[in-house]
Structures are given as C-alpha cells and as structure tokens.
Chains A and B, each alone.
Chain A
C-alpha cells in the first residue's frame, strides 16, 4: 500500500527529533510558566480555594441568598484575622484589631513617621514573612465580592444577551486557559506545517517524480500523500492536545468546567455570543485547533508541491504560520466568539479559511492529472 510507504516517509526519525526539540523549546519558553504558576501567587491562590469551595457548596451559580452565605465565610475569616491580631503585641500596641483597620491606619499614617514604619513592618511580617492565610483570604474575598456586586451593573450589554451573570468562573482561570491554548494551537500549527511541508519537496529534490508519475498509480500519488498527510495531521494534533490536557489537568480547573462563561467575574471583562460552559468553550477551541491544523496541513501540502527548494518552503511556511498565529491571537482562539466582533465575523472567517484550504487542494488536484513532470 502506497499509503503506508508515504506514512513512513512522513514519520521520518530526523523530522520527529526536530519537532520534538522545537516542542521542548516551545514548552520551556512559552508554556511551562502557565502550568507551573497556576494559580499565580497570592491572593489568586486563595481566591482559587474560595471559588472551588463555593462550587462545592452552592453549585455553578451563586445567587443572592448564596452570596450571603459566602459573606458569612468572609466574616469567619475576618474573625480569624482578628484573633491573630489580638495575640500580636505590636498590633495591640498600635490599636489594630482587624484587617480593615490595619489597612485604614496604614493609609492614614504619615509616610515616613515612626508609626508608619511600625505598621508597615507589621504588614510585611503578616503578609510576606508569616503569610498568614486569613489575611490573604480576606484579600481574595474582597476582590471576589466586589466583582459579584459590580456584576449587577452588567445589564443588557449587547442585544440578545440577557443574563444574571451569577455563574462562578474566575477570570484568572479563563485567562490561564487562553494563554495556554493560544500557545498550544500555535505550536500545533508550526509542527503540522513542518511535517506536512516535507510531503512532496524531498521527492522532487531527489528526482523521484519521473519514476513515480510514470507508474499506474503515479498521478494518484497526490491523493495517497494527501490521505497520509491528513492522518498524520490528526494523529499529531491528537498527541499534542492529549499531552496538553494531561498537563492542564494538573492546573485543577476541572471544577469550573460546568460553569457558564457568563460569570460575574468574566462578565465584567469579556462577553460571549454563546452561553457556553467553560467545558464547552474548551471543546470549541479544540475543534478550532483541529480545523486550523487541517487547514495548515492542506496549505503546507499544496505549497510543498509548488516550491522547488527548501528556502522557498521555509519562507512561505513562516508567512503562513505567522498569519495563523495572528488569527489565533486576535479572535479565533483568544476571545473566541466574544462580543469583540459580531458573531457573523467568526463564522465568516471559519468559512473563508475552510474555502481557502479546499480550493487550494482542488485546484492542485485538477492540475496533477495533466502537469508536466521534469
């Protein structure tokens, strides 16, 4: 079977080592940060704990009465902070009894005065040296509660979107995923372009075409190579996405998968045309990545047949992958289906990109039957 021969040529060990190196480099420089530092520092880590607890206790939405429950947790935490301050001699001396009074007094004190210095030292000790959980948690609560309260001001932002924005999906979870999926999508595009870019050109450079095209199935070779390329693309994309989600599962965001994107945190910054849950949104980006991987494969496939040297191949490929990365980062992965653009814009682009890929392929396929081979 020609298919297997072509597969073996595509899965050339040298190329595989090359893409492995590129992937490791890419991981190290662009991806590892978002795995290693998630949630990134405090109080984000504290907010994360609170958010997860809220989902455990109240489900994926937080209505007004449930919000009162969260306010009770907040008071608990405040009491913990007060208890800490009570047994602290410096705090007692300064007359600080709560987190709020620490903040207020620090703000009121004259900068540089002895009192200010003392309070500042106390603050640093609590927050950075001893990292007392209660104090960080209070910060987390405050941010979150402010967002919840602000979300009531989000009203009828765009025609057709009316929601109470009570879903629990913090912004940092969304942002972290955005960053990761953008970089992963770009890496997959690069890898696919590289691998599929080598489907035709080496044969041409090695002067194989006169022998291949004279055989019975010679002029169908284009199709066999196409099938091998598409299978390779799907396998490569699946492997990369598999590895990605394996790593991503360590970020512990699965509790939010069933939360709607129209959350009280996200609603303040980004609005979506579809009422997706976070999990559905992830699936949408995965679908886009498969689609763009196939598009990249088709373009690479045709380009590889058209160019006559490696320099031209690399040059064109850089242009193609850069365009893809740009499209990804502006709207097709980052802020996919957000109200930044009209809904039809997304579908128009998806349609246009699909048509470009298919037309390039059909055009070349027709030529293959009558093309001169030198």
Chain B
C-alpha cells in the first residue's frame, strides 16, 4: 500500500501542492487535472525524483526515501516526456534500462521480447529509435517502465501521441496489469481512464479535491445536467445563468449542455465523467484550449 501523508511541495516560494493525502491499493488510479495542476509534481515525488517539502510518502508503512533502492526496485515510471538515444535500437535501449534496473542479461532479453510483443513492436526491435514515430516511442517508454514487472506503476500521460487503436489496446493492457499492482496514470483525456479506473483523483487549487470512484463522481451532477436546443441569441444568457459544459451547432439552433441547480423545461441527461471534469474545472480557460485538439 502506497500512502501520501499530508504532503506539501514548494518550488522556492511557489507552492505546487498543498497538504495532499492519498492512499493507493491494487488497481488503476486516474489522476485527472488540467495543465499545471501538479500531476507531474505529485508523480515525481511518488518515484523519488523529487521530495516533499513537508509530509511523507510511505510504501507498506515505510518512508519511500528510507526504502531507497528497495522501493525503486518495484517501481516503473513513464515520464511525461522522456529521453532516449536516437542511434540505439529499441532492444539496445531497453537492455540499457534493464541493466539499470539490475536485471541480468539473459532474463532481460526474454523480458524485452515479451514486452515488445505486448505493445506490438516485435517487428521493429532491431530498428533504430530515430526511425520510430512518436506513438512508437511512447510504446517503448511503456516497455521500459514494465521491464522489472513493477508493483507500483506510475505513468505520466502515457497515451499522449497514441492513435485511437493504440489507445484502446493500451487500455486493455492496463486492465490486465492492474490485477496485482498499483497503477497511477495521469491524463487530461477522460476517455483514457473511463471504465477502467478504480478511482479518480482530481486536483484543484493545489489540493486533492476528489478521490472517488467513477459512480460517485458522476453522482455529483445527478439530476443537475440538462440539454436544450436554443436559438443562437440566447446562448449568452445561458452562459451567464448556468455552467455551460458544451455547445453544439444543430439545424434548428444550438444544443447546449449545462448544469442547473433547479429543474426546468429541459431534457435531463445522464452525466458522464467528462461532464464532471468540465464542471469541476469550468473556470480554467486553458482547458478549453486543450479540448479542441482532442
């Protein structure tokens, strides 16, 4: 069991995270928060790349800093943007990371073959990484994280750059891996964790706002989410009165999806995880920028 106790992280005078408390058991945890919320900061502390300014992180009740190598031995980590040697082949690169993880050579070779197959790169293991596409590199990144069969797997935006087919494959892979380990992945693409995450963590204003399962999260908007088709002129008015989560051009007007505390003559709809995400981070403008690219 991995536990974060009251952790605060300051960068000089700037506070990135404040009094964070979290527990992780087996299963997939999704860290869902917009850019700059502190996802990477939290993960870097979980993998001992940086250290809490206050509070502590424990694994099976021991401080991970004191555990040191023993803890890093059961750790797999995929950084948000990670490095590789362009002139290395995928196999050679993985052999190097395997050596750093302390795997012996013959075991590493077998494991690498297995993992390349798992992510569908078995045919390009001998190819140089400079010939790989962004999505292929990302999959090599996943392989390196899994080399030591980690008990704690931390993935920082692992699906960035993957096409829909790969994304679906990755989701399946995660579900099979989650059985006997802790997986924490950060993303701002809701569909990546929808249906597979046991719990979803949302960070807002440097603190953990929610750590709930998907059902509980959705129930936050239960009975408050509506859809209506309105004339173009009314859109302004809706925006000022309600939290509008999305709008869509239709033949006879604009279809708005919004949250209202009172019921009205609108169509009540089932909230999705995405609705909750949009509602929670409503005022953060950079998010809307991000959504356009998805």
Contact = CB atoms under 8 A, between A and B. Distances in A.
Contact of B101 (A203, A209, A217): A217
B5 interface: no
A216 B72 contact: yes
Given A203-B83, A207-B83, A215-B72, A2 B49 contact: no
B182 to A, nearest CB: 15
Contacts of B68: 219
A208 interface: yes
A216 B82 contact: no
B25 interface: no
B83 A217 contact: no
B51 interface: yes
Nearest to B141: A211
Contacts of A217: 69, 99-102
Contacts of B50: 372-374
Contacts of A2: 96, 99-100
A218 B100 CA distance: 6
A107 to B, nearest CB: 73
Given A2-B99, A5-B96, A216 B83 contact: no
Could you tell me the dominant secondary structure of chain B's interface residues?
Answer: loop
Nearest to B70: A216
A216 B144 contact: no
Nearest to A205: B83
A216 B44 CA distance: 15
- Counting chain B CB atoms within 10 Å of each CB, the highest count among A203, A213, A218, A374 belongs to A218
A65 interface: no
A370 B51 contact: yes
B79 A211 contact: yes
A211 B69 contact: no
A217 B73 CA distance: 8
A230 interface: no
Interface in B75-90: 75, 77, 79, 81-85
Interface residues of B, number: 27
- Counting chain B CB atoms within 10 Å of each CB, the highest count among A208, A216, A219, A372 belongs to A216
Contacts of B82: 207-208, 210-211
A319 interface: no
B73 A210 contact: no
Nearest to A12: B87
Given A206-B84, A207-B81, A207-B83, A214 B102 contact: no
Nearest to B100: A215
Contacts of A373: 44, 49-50
A287 to B, nearest CB: 35
Nearest to B87: A12
Given A208-B83, A372-B51, A374-B49, 9 more contacts: A2-B99, A5-B95, A206-B85, A210-B44, A210-B83, A214-B47, A214-B48, A216-B73, A372-B49
Interface of B: 44, 47-51, 68-69, 72-73, 75, 77, 79, 81-85, 95-97, 99-102, 144, 148
Interface of A: 1-2, 5, 203, 206-219, 221, 370, 372-374
21 contacts: A2-B96, A2-B99, A5-B95, A207-B81, A207-B82, A210-B49, A211-B144, A213-B49, A214-B75, A215-B100, A216-B69, A216-B72, A216-B100, A216-B101, A217-B99, A217-B101, A217-B102, A219-B68, A219-B69, A219-B72, A372-B49
Nearest first, the 3 closest Cβ-Cβ pairs linking A and B are: A207-B83, A208-B83, A215-B100
